Amino acid sequence: MYGWEMLSFNIHDGFLEAIVRGNRSGLLTAADYNNLCQCETLDDIKMHLTATEYGPYLQNEPSPLHTTTIVEKCTLKLVDEYKHMLCQATEPLSTFLQYITYGHMIDNVVLIVTGTLHERDVNELLEKCHPLGMFDSIASLAVAQNMRELYRLVLVDTPLAPYFSECITSEVNTAADHLCITYVLQQISAHHCSYFS
């Protein structure tokens, strides 16, 4: 970044760099982790985290506190910061940040499809999905009866569509059995991972 590029750095990337630096300064330090190790109850953990950047996310949680609540609120903070960065990013960074969510989308699709095959409640499955991998039509995954229908109804409008369309050619008329879905989802994961190798 020498010469003329530095003249426009703040215009294009300065604000986002400031956001990243601010998020980095909000991470827990080694001293914070040492203090958390000394906490005896979940309320002690909440009290310590309230003094950090996680405070606004935990301050209104009533006692008794559960570990899942702490994890959900800390994850919510991460997701909020990530979405804020994604909204502020320009190309090629915005594309890279979108790629990061694809792995979570794949995991969510696997969770919903396999959970549906085992006749689990869709709402229960949706609660277990990672927030970075959520997309509008994810609840419709449980409706699909075969691979082509799954692609046509749900995945065609998601960023997973290019990976999935290449995987369904041999699954045109087969039912959505466990082996078929496992094979297709492994193909999607392999396809996605190939972009990062």
**Residue from 88, 86, 129, 133 nearest 111 by CA:** 129
Mean pLDDT in residue range 170-190: 57
Angle CA 46–47–51, to nearest 5: 105
**Token pair of 179, please?**
């082996």
Task: Check residue 82 and give its pLDDT.
Answer: 94
pLDDT per residue as tens digits for the range 87-134: 988 888 888 888 888 888 888 887 887 787 777 887 888 888 999 988
pLDDT per residue as tens digits for the range 11-38: 777 888 889 899 898 889 999 999 999 9
Task: Check residue 166 and give its pLDDT.
Answer: 57
**Token pair of 58, please?**
């935990």
123 DSSP β-pair partners? none
Neighbouring residues of 138: CB distance < 8 A, sequence distance ≥ 6: 108, 109, 112, 126, 129, 154
Task: Check residue 175 and give its pLDDT.
Answer: 45
**Residue from 150, 154, 103, 155 nearest 130 by CA:** 103
DSSP codes of every residue in 41-101 = SHHHHHHHHHTSTTHHHHTTPPSSP-HHHHHHHHHHHHHHHHHHHHHH--TTHHHHHHHHH
User: Does the structure show a pLDDT above 80 at 84?
Assistant: yes
Task: Check residue 7 and give its pLDDT.
Answer: 72
pTM of the entire structure?
0.72
User: Does the structure show a pLDDT above 80 at 47?
Assistant: yes
Identity of the residue numbered 29: T
Q: Which DSSP symbol is given to 118?
A: T
Q: Sketch the domain layout of the chain as residue ranges.
A: 7-88, 93-194
